[in-house]
Amino acid sequence: MVRDPGASYRGRKPGPDGKTTMVKFSVGAETLGTLVTRTSTESDDLRSLVQKFVAAAEPLEDVMSGEAKVAFDRFKGKSDEIAGTLHNALVGICGSIDGQNKSFITGAQEGADAHRQGEGAANFDAAATVARFGPQ
């Protein structure tokens, strides 16, 4: 497992039922975007490796006959299917990560907007009054 320097991991603590363990972590602003990019690259690399594996076995195709040829053709057909399935699964994972990233960005922006709105409505007159009681 690759540890992302953008994510920080905190200590474990009991969950709501007192038994399960919860782990609190915070994700850096670029963490999920980086994960999408890396996963997409790895997906392309994995598909390429499966295709290279099949291509490396193709010279054996000419020396086979009968049941061996049937088994080889079945292997070749399945490997293309497996490469496509792996690729599609990783594309789906990338889509999910991208959705999470958008949610985090939207949530952070909405939180910042709410904070600014609340700050604008705050009355800081009391702070000036309290400051008069401090050392002069």
| pLDDT, tens only, 73-111 | 888 888 888 888 888 888 898 889 889 888 888 888 898
Cβ atoms < 10 Å from Cβ of 7: 13
CB contact at 8 A, 34 and 41: no
∠ CA 67-73-78 to the nearest 5 degrees?
125
Q: Kindly report, residue by residue over 52-81, the tens digit of the pLDDT.
A: 888 888 888 788 889 988 988 888 888 888
Place of tokens 């702070």: 127
